[in-house]
Structures are given as C-alpha cells and as structure tokens.
Structure 1
Amino acid sequence: MISNFIDGILQYHFLQNALITSTVIGIVAGAVGCFIILRGMSLMGDAISHAVLPGIAISFILGFNYFVGAIALGLIASFIITFISNNSKIKNDAAIGITFSSFLALGVILIGVANSSTDLFHILFGNVLAVQDFDKWLTIAIAIIVLIILFIFFKPLLITSFDPNMAKAFGMKVNNYHYLLMILLTLVSVTAMQSVGTILIVAMLITPASTAYLYTNRLSSMIFLASFLGGITSIIGLFIGYSFNIAVGSCIVLTSALIFLISFFISPKQGYFKRKVVSS
C-alpha cells in the first residue's frame, strides 16, 4: 500500500501537488496555531474560517480567484470582531458569535446566488487532490511570507502573547500586533481551505499546536514541533485518504487528533500515567 502511494506520487502530477500543498499548509498552520492557543483565540480561528464563506461565493459570482474574496472577507470579519470587543461592553466571545453567524448566514445566501455547489462543496470540506499548479505556488508563497513575518516579529508577538500589560508598559503597540496576527490567521485559514475546507480549518490550527504544548514550555520549540506535526499529519492523512479513497481533509484532522490523544496520556508535561501510578 505504501509502495502504491509512493508510485502514485512519482507518476501523478495531481498527487504531487496535493502532497506539497497539504504539507506546506500543515507546517504554516502549526506555526500560527501556537500563537492562537497561547492567546486563547481558538474561537477566533473558527470564526474567521467560516467568515470567509461569503467572500468565496462573491469570488465565484464575479469570476475571479476565491483567494481574493476569502482573504478580503476574512480580514473584514477579524477587524469587526476586534473593533466590537475593544469599543463596547460586549465580550470577545459574543462579538465572535455575532460576526461569525452573520457572515455565515450571508455566505449561505450567496451560495444560492452563486449557483456553484460543486466548487463550494470542495471549499467547505476540502479537496486537496484537485489543487492546481497556481494554487500550489500561491500557497507556498503565502506560507513563506507568513513564516518570515513570524520570524521577524517573533519577540514582540511572544511578549504580547504572554503578558500584554507588560508589553504596554514597555510602550509596545499591542493592538497592532493583534491585528498582524489576525492577518496571518486569515491568510493561513484561506490556504487551508484547499486541504480540509472551511469546516475543519480550526483543527489544523489548534490540534498540532496543542499537542506541541504538551511537550515543551519554550515557544520556539513549540513552533518547530507544531509545524513538524502539522506537516507529518498532512502526509499521513493524504496517504490514508488516497489509499482508501476517502476524504483526505477528514483523514488529516483525525490523524492529528489521534496523535494529540496519545500525547495526552504519554507526554511528560501532562504526566497522566505518572499521576495514576502515584495515586495508586
């Protein structure tokens, strides 16, 4: 079975595109996901991943690449959520709920107008085996840009993630770094649509990063481990999906969840079995 998968990669261009694209997405999603879980913004990732739906539908209606509409609507949603949270008594989770549901409802309406159910189905649930060369190179370019930005702004993002009050005391513009992270989150969410779809994007962002968090307290080590886990689970998920002719996106997510479950019990930081032995 493994030999058939390897032969398929060597022979079929579509499978090569799928392998490269899913691996790149897994790596960059793992890196960005570390900052998302440290800031307690898991719901924000879920909201943005669904808020891009009307942008995708608009792109189909107007006849241009869905990346443009998805990124535009994702950024608008993130800015609206942050603006409401910072300028009203409404808490962040309520702002996310209002914006998320409104954009999702608008997306459902526009889907009917777009009248392109097949393509939009792939956006909702992912279809990495159908990735074209242009989308592959665009994904690689976005991933490189995101990783470079994370490298350049690593220290300020680290400080504002762990202690925003201290960052303000140092004169750092905390809100600016928050918006920067929202932009990166939107870019990653849009690229991840190709592999797992808008429904499961949050899993690629959160699960590898959460697994890495169980093994280390250093953010730099956490990012490298989460990126590795994101990449390797994408490869394993692609192998399972291709070999058994089932949804690749779902296989990637379940593989990542299985690794997290195993890590929950065996990781030294979690110490689940150690506590059981001591208590007994």
Structure 2
Amino acid sequence: MTELLMPFQFPFMQNAFLIVTLIAPAAAMLSAFLVLKGWALMGDATSHAVLPGVVLAYMAGIPLIIGAFLAGLVCALGTGFIKDNSRIKQDTVMGVVFSGMFGAGIVLYTQIESSLHLDHILFGNMLGVGTDDLWTAGLISGAVALILGVKWRDFLTHAFDPVQARMIGLPTTLLHYGLLAILSATIVAMLSSVGIILSVAYLIAPGAIAFLLTRRFAAMLLVSITVALFSGIAGIYAAFWLDASPAPTIVLILTGLFLAALALRQLRERRVTSA
C-alpha cells in the first residue's frame, strides 16, 4: 500500500496533482461550451497563437502570462474581424491566423538567447511548477469557473441560437467576446503545466466525451469536470510509474476515454434501433 502511495509523497508530484486539480474544472466547463458552439478549432488556434506573445513578453521583461493573454486575444479578435469582412470561412481563417502567429513565435524564439525552454512552453512542465504557477493557475481558473458557473445559461443560449439570445435582450456581443477572453485566460492558466500544444486536448476532449454520454447540459458540465479531473490525476500517477511526461500521458487517457464513450454511444444507438 505504501508503494502505491509513493507518487503522493514527493513535493514536485504534489504540485503536479494540485495544479491539474486547479485547472481541470475551468478547462472542462469551457470545453463543454466550445464543443456546443463549434469552436473546437478556435481553442486549437488560440493555444498555438500565444507563442509570439510569450516570446515578446520575455524580450520586454514583463510577465509571460500577459504576453500570452494578449496574443490569444489578438488571434481570436483578428479571426473574427477577417471572417466578418471577407468571404473566407471561419475554419480557413483560423488555420491561416494561428499557423502564421505560431510561425512568428518560432522565428522570434530563434533570434533571442534565453533560459526560456521552448519544450516547456510547447509541452508544459507539470513536474516543475512552483508556487507562482499554482497561484496563477488557481486565480485564473477560479475566476473562469465562477463566471461560467454563474452565467452558464446566458452562454448556453448564445451558443445554441445567437439570434434568439439577441431578441430576449442578452448582450450577445459581450457574451461573444467575453467567451474569447475566457478562452485566452484559460490557456494562460494551463501554459506552465500542460503547455501550448497539449492544452487543446483539455479544451476539447472533456466536452466531447460528455456530449457523447449525456443529453442535458447541466449533466454535461459535471461529466466534463469529472473526466478532466480523472484523466489529469490518473495521467500524472501513471506517468510516475512509466517514467513518462505527465501532459502527453493525460492526453492519451483522454483519447482512450473518448474512444470508449464513442463506442458506448454507438452501442446504445444500435440497441435503440434494434428495439
């Protein structure tokens, strides 16, 4: 029994378990809205686009999270502006914008000399998080979870039918850009632990899994949070014994859960059809 509890005895592992517990609820709740709204690619685009902001913030000597947040907003707002003022579809615009910003970030990174490890930015450093990272993740995630928890009905209405939301008096513009700001903030919260590339899994997979398993949105939120917490804790625990990186291990568990949920959904539909 003592050996099974060994991962919980090391301070760096305790910090890893703690930070994933902090970021999982907010990321999972946001994931449910992104899946329903069809913004999965927006989460991918924004997570990649923060790289130039991180590098520029390092060059300017300001906190990296400020640069990441601003770069994420520029990507999200720029995508919306181009979509509204051109004939190009949103997914095409996002692909061009995020790949361009990601490429700019790589080029900027190669031009500076720093102790900033690109691997940690891209793939996270969950086993190396410190007190500052925990406070940053906790405060941002707490604020995001609070906003989504209080205003989830407004965001849900806007996600399903923006026209109806406008007709009943909801501030649709504020809800639209507020969700984009929340997306950028959540990515910033995950920057030090999950990293830029792998954060997209936390922004999509929990909501997608819950969408396959439930029919009510309130239940979808709870399932999303449960999936995110389970995969995070299980991934870190498994990575300790496998001597692997925690973030990719978490993503593998999320992928396995998604495939299991998909198989279960198919089985249920076949039973209904045969009945």
Q: Structure 2: 5+ residue runs without aligned partners?
A: none
Task: For 1:216 and 1:72, locate their aligned partners in 2 and report how far apart those are by CA, in whole Å.
Answer: 35
Alignment correspondent of 1:162: 160
Per-residue displacement from partner, 1:46-102 (whole Å, max 9, x unpaired)? 000000000111122233332111111111111111122223322211221221122
1:257 maps to amino acid: T
**Cα offset for 1:26?**
1.9
Q: Against the structure 1 CA distance between its residues 275 and 8, is the aligned structure 2 distance closer, same or farther, given a 3 Å change threshold?
A: closer
Q: Against the structure 1 CA distance between its residues 4 and 127, is the aligned structure 2 distance closer, same or farther, given a 3 Å change threshold?
A: farther
**Cα offset for 1:196?**
2.5
Alignment correspondent of 1:21: 19
Task: For 2:57 and 2:91, locate their aligned partners in 1 and report how far apart those are by CA, in whole Å.
Answer: 29
Task: For 2:195 and 2:178, locate their aligned partners in 1 and report how far apart those are by CA, in whole Å.
Answer: 23
Alignment correspondent of 2:73: 75
The 3-state SS of whatever aligns with 1:182 is: helix
Q: Does residue 7 of structure 1 match 2:6?
A: yes
Q: Could you tell me which of 166, 188, 204 is aligned with 1:190?
A: 188
Q: Does residue 115 of structure 1 match 2:110?
A: no
Q: Against the structure 1 CA distance between its residues 278 and 75, is the aligned structure 2 distance closer, same or farther, given a 3 Å change threshold?
A: closer
The 3-state SS of whatever aligns with 2:33 is: helix
Alignment correspondent of 2:40: 42
Task: For 1:185 and 1:127, locate their aligned partners in 2 and report how far apart those are by CA, in whole Å.
Answer: 21
1:103 maps to amino acid: M
Alignment correspondent of 1:59: 57
Task: For 1:7 and 1:277, locate their aligned partners in 2 and report how far apart those are by CA, in whole Å.
Answer: 46
Alignment correspondent of 1:238: 236
Q: Could you tell me which of 246, 256, 259 is aligned with 1:258?
A: 256
Q: Which shifted more, 170-179 or 198-207? A: 170-179
Task: For 1:200 and 1:74, locate their aligned partners in 2 and report how far apart those are by CA, in whole Å.
Answer: 16
Task: For 1:19 and 1:279, locate their aligned partners in 2 and report how far apart those are by CA, in whole Å.
Answer: 44
Q: Against the structure 1 CA distance between its residues 65 and 265, is the aligned structure 2 distance closer, same or farther, given a 3 Å change threshold?
A: same
Task: For 1:152 and 1:278, locate their aligned partners in 2 and report how far apart those are by CA, in whole Å.
Answer: 39
2:6 maps to amino acid: D
Q: Structure 1: 5+ residue runs without aligned partners?
A: none
Identity, in percent, stands at 33
Task: For 1:63 and 1:167, locate their aligned partners in 2 and report how far apart those are by CA, in whole Å.
Answer: 42
Task: For 1:105 and 1:205, locate their aligned partners in 2 and report how far apart those are by CA, in whole Å.
Answer: 22
**Cα offset for 1:261?**
1.0
Alignment correspondent of 2:270: 275
Please give the TM-score of this superposition, normalised by the length of structure 1: 0.92
Task: For 2:104 and 2:271, locate their aligned partners in 1 and report how far apart those are by CA, in whole Å.
Answer: 50
The 3-state SS of whatever aligns with 1:197 is: coil
Q: Against the structure 1 CA distance between its residues 274 and 216, is the aligned structure 2 distance closer, same or farther, given a 3 Å change threshold?
A: closer
**Aligned partners of 1:124 and 1:198 also within 8 Å:** yes
The 3-state SS of whatever aligns with 1:196 is: coil
Q: Against the structure 1 CA distance between its residues 87 and 33, is the aligned structure 2 distance closer, same or farther, given a 3 Å change threshold?
A: same
Task: For 2:4 and 2:140, locate their aligned partners in 1 and report how far apart those are by CA, in whole Å.
Answer: 27
Alignment correspondent of 2:176: 178
**Aligned partners of 1:23 and 1:232 also within 8 Å:** no
Q: Could you tell me which of 17, 28, 48 is aligned with 1:30?
A: 28
**Cα offset for 1:126?**
1.3
Task: For 1:121 and 1:33, locate their aligned partners in 2 and report how far apart those are by CA, in whole Å.
Answer: 25
**Aligned partners of 2:7 and 2:240 also within 8 Å:** no
Task: For 1:115 and 1:8, locate their aligned partners in 2 and report how far apart those are by CA, in whole Å.
Answer: 35
Q: Against the structure 1 CA distance between its residues 173 and 278, is the aligned structure 2 distance closer, same or farther, given a 3 Å change threshold?
A: closer
Q: Would you say how many aligned residue pairs link Structure 1 and Structure 2?
A: 275
**Cα offset for 1:262?**
1.1
